[in-house]
Structure 1
Amino acid sequence: MTGHRDPYPRMIEVTVPGTTLRGNPLGDPCSRRIPVYLPPSYGDNKRFPVIYLLAGFASTGQSFMNYSFGRQTVPEMANALITGGNMAECIIVMPDCMTRYGGSQYVNSVATGLYESYLVEEVISTIDSTLCTLAERKHRAVAGKSSGGFGALRLAMRHPERFAAAACHSGDMGFELCYKPNFPAAARVLEQYRGSIADFLLSYESALKKPQREFTLLDIIGMAAAYSPDASKEAPGNIRLPFNPHTCEPIENVWQEWLAFDPVEMIEREEYREALRSLNTLYLDCGTLDEYNLQFGHRIFSAKATTYAINHHYEEFMDSHSNTSYRYAVSLPLLSASIAD
């Protein structure tokens, strides 16, 4: 193994034209530059498996390279694991699926754009045609945390022809527990803007320091754009909220649309169970102190996966939802081993 010769992460940027995103309702950029980690022996006439690493809500591929004192970036972590002999060499791609609403949830939506198609079709094909990849399903994995974990798990369920392994860190699931408790806080913020999503977004976007207490509403808007878009409305605000903003009572038909995206509901469909059974590796974890109650959704999902004879590994760790990127030190070695030659 030649990995010892390069102690620093080797990073490049790959431009994805974004033809899939042209004409998106929010006018977000189509062409995007995405960061890519290359393993130490890249360039030695070899081809490598690929892990697609999905960022959480309000983050994007560039976020994985954010410096923080005393903590490794994800590329630094991967490089240390590989050079230390604890992880198989692989390429790590960090896509940009950001939208004006803070994220896409990696789904196709008439409110934001075709981000699911963009990722599984255009990003993957661009990477395979640009870099020295092992361009087969058995050499490809997807992973992420929070909304990225949700995206990774959902994409693995919907596109088994693309991915052979998946890791979901604190991914959105158990929507009754993780989203509904935030409806009242979002309604209170929206009331300050006389119920106008457009006015809220204008204020939030123009603020030099984003009001922390208003992030809950942005989060709910982002989820509604993914799960209950409204093509009859002009952007911004081309969504349907799953609750009455005045009384905070649930709107049942809209809420049912949200639940169709919930992994604990999706696993009830045999086609998705078969997709999960086809994976070489399915890894999930969550903090026991998660502020969004995701540990409970993960326990439900894991119990159902066990009932349905879906091979997986689920762990809990003593921490909250934020600043847990160190958990990639567990999943990345597992994924890279399962998609290596």
Structure 2
Amino acid sequence: MRAIILGGLAACALCAQLWAGVIEVTHHSDALGRERNLSVYVPPGYDGSGAYPTVYLLHGYAAETNNAYWEKKYAIGKVLDELIATGRIRPFVVVMPDSSMRWKASGYTFCGSFYVNTVAGRYEDYVMEDVIEYVEQHFAVSPDPARRAVMGHSMGGLGALHYAMKYGKSRFGAVVAHSGPTLYPLIKHLQPLFNRAFTDGHVVSKLVIKVFGLLGISPAEVVDFPGEDALEAEFSAQRSGGPEVRWDNLRGLYVYLSCGDKDEKHMYPLNKLFVGQLSKRRIDHTFVSYEGDHDNRLLEMIKDSFTRLGAALP
């Protein structure tokens, strides 16, 4: 059952008695300076008491809204209900923040926030400050970071890894990235496309800028765009395991990645490189490599990762 609740959950206990499944709420974001939608899955039997473990589930690029991505496209509430009913997972509260956006500059429309702070909005602060604070004030969830996980698909997978590597155990006990762009080597490989854009105006350059443009003007320690020298210096630091990557923040977390070997967005070799770095640094992790594309087996991977989270989180 889905509830649409405007203006917050002032009477959370009453709401919990009336609703289960995916609840739609509207709350104010100080970081973004406006109202935002938030989808929250509450499990069967939820009564507003207790301290449930929490999973923050991040949607992919160009999603119209978080609900359109997770509920309309993947029926995530039904999937979680079935997993709980069959005993495959224990009950979680699952939070799906809306980080979709439409922002125009210099003739380009940027659709993906990539969960970082940019001139288009403080989307990292929105998730890490506004959303977590709101959920822990209005839902019966544990405030213990060890019982909090961040999971995402595609762009959301990048967001999950970004938060885990930046904040580590101070905010999360687990990170799950499905078909995520482990972006550091990716942008380096795209550099020739940026260069070509100044000579032949190839249409691919517009697509690249649409997807990664906000990361380029982000202060979030990804790249300094434009500027070939700045890019090269950044990637030299990343390849050498410099402080910006913060590999050590993944130690002590449960780390799960999955990716299809036929990913049409070319995420598979990037994930293999990332996993190789985890192995090199002896960081415990699980990597599920499967025969498939970017999202044709996403629900299967979500079911598997939720099952493993049940054992990994206290």
Verify same fold: TM over 0.5: yes
SS state at 1:301 partner: helix
Task: Output the CA distance in 1 between the equivalents of 2:311 and 2:266.
Answer: 31
Query: Out of 247, 271, 275, which is 1:298 matched to?
Result: 271
Counterpart secondary structure, 2:56: strand
Partners of 1:274 and 1:48 in 2: CA distance: 27
TM-score for the superposition, normalised by structure 1: 0.73
Q: Secondary structure at the match of 1:310?
A: coil
Displacement, 1:217?
A: 3.2
Please give the secondary structure, in 1, of the residue aligned with 2:271.
helix
For residue 183 of structure 1, report the CA deviation from its aligned partner. Answer: 3.4
Query: For the structure 1 residues 49 and 289, does the alpha-carbon distance in structure 2 shift closer, same or farther, using more than 3 Å as the test?
Result: same
Match of residue 121 from structure 2: 113
Q: 1:302 to 1:55 in 2, by over 3 A?
A: same
Corresponding residue for residue 167 of structure 1: 176
- Aligned counterparts, 1:12-27, within 5 A: 12-22=23-33
Q: 1:229 to 1:158 in 2, by over 3 A?
A: closer
1:108-141 CA-to-partner distances (Å, cap 9, x unmatched) read 11x2111111111110000000111111101100
- Alignment RMSD, CA only? 3.2
Question: Which has the larger share of strand?
Answer: 2
Q: Name the aligned partner's letter for residue 231 of structure 2.
A: W
Q: Aligned pair 1:180/2:156, yes or no?
A: no
Name the CA distance, whole Å, in 1 between partners of 2:45 and 2:234.
44
Bigger drift between 221-230 and 74-83 goes to: 221-230
Partner of 2:87: 85
1:11 corresponding residue in structure 2: 22
Where do 1:206-221 residues align within 5 Å? Answer: 217=206, 220-221=209-210
The count of aligned residue pairs is 280
2:154 aligned with 1:149:
no
SS in 1 for 2:172: coil
Q: Distance in 2 between matches of 1:119 and 1:45?
A: 24
**Alpha carbons 1:177, 1:292 under 8 Å: kept:** no
Q: Distance in 1 between matches of 2:32 and 2:244?
A: 31
Q: In 2, Cα distance between the equivalents of 1:174 and 1:300?
A: 11
Change (3 A) 1:305 1:35: same
Matched residue, 1:253: 229
* In 1, Cα distance between equivalents of 2:96 and 2:243: 29
Matches of 2:231 and 2:209, distance apart in 1: 12
Structural mapping, 1:185-224, within 5 Å: 187=197, 191=201, 217=206, 220-224=209-213
Q: Which moved more, 1:168-177 or 1:78-87?
A: 168-177
The code of the aligned residue for 1:61 comes to N
Matched residue, 1:275:
249
1:129 aligns with 2:137: yes
> How do 1:27-106 and structure 2 match up within 5 A?
30-43=34-47, 45-59=49-63, 60-62=65-67, 63-67=69-73, 73-100=75-102, 101-106=110-115
Tell me, in whole angstroms, the C-alpha distance in 1 between the residues paired with 2:191 and 2:20: 41
Which residue number corresponds to residue 6 of structure 2? Answer: none
Deviation track 1:147-178 (CA, whole Å, cap 9, x = no partner) reads 10000011011112111101011111255447
Distance change >3 Å, CA 276–CA 223, structure 1 → 2: same
In structure 2, list runs of 5 or more residues that go unmatched: 1-18, 103-109
Deviation of the 1:324 alpha carbon = 3.5
Segments of 5+ residues of structure 1 without an aligned counterpart are: 1-7, 23-29, 193-212, 231-238, 243-250
Contact 1:174–1:294 (CA under 8 A) maintained in structure 2: no
Q: Write the deviation string for residues 58-98 of structure 1: whole angstroms up to 9, x where unpaired.
A: 1142110114xxxx522221111111100011000000111
Does 1:321 pair with 2:294?
yes
Deviation at 1:221, TM superposition (A): 2.5
Task: From the superposition, tell whether residues 154 and 275 of structure 1 become closer, same or farther in structure 2 (CA, over 3 Å).
Answer: same
Q: Which structure exhibits the higher relative contact order, with contacts defined as CA atoms closer than 8 Å and separated by 6 or more residues? A: 1
Spell out, residue by residue over 1:3-32, the C-alpha distance to the aligned partner (whole angstroms, 9 max, x if none).
xxxxx961212323111112xxxxxxx211
| TM-score when normalising by structure 2 | 0.78
Deviations along 1:25-44, whole A, 9 cap, x unmatched? xxxxx211111110112106
Write the letter of the residue equivalent to 1:48. Y
Q: Which amino acid aligns with 2:117?
A: N
Displacement after TM superposition at 1:265 (Å): 4.7
Judge conservation of contact 2:117–2:218 (CA < 8 Å) in 1: no
Q: Which amino acid aligns with 1:277?
A: R
CA distance in 2 between counterparts of 1:282 and 1:155 reads: 12
Distance in 1 separating the partners of 2:132 and 2:24: 14
Give the corresponding residue for 2:147: 139
Displacement of 1:222? 4.0
2: CA distance between counterparts of 1:257 and 1:53?
33
Confirm or deny: 8 A CA contact 1:36 1:91 kept in the other structure. yes
1:288 — aligned with what? Answer: 261
What is the CA-CA distance between 1:269 and the residue it aligns to? Answer: 3.2
CA distance in 1: counterparts of 2:264 and 2:289, whole angstroms: 14
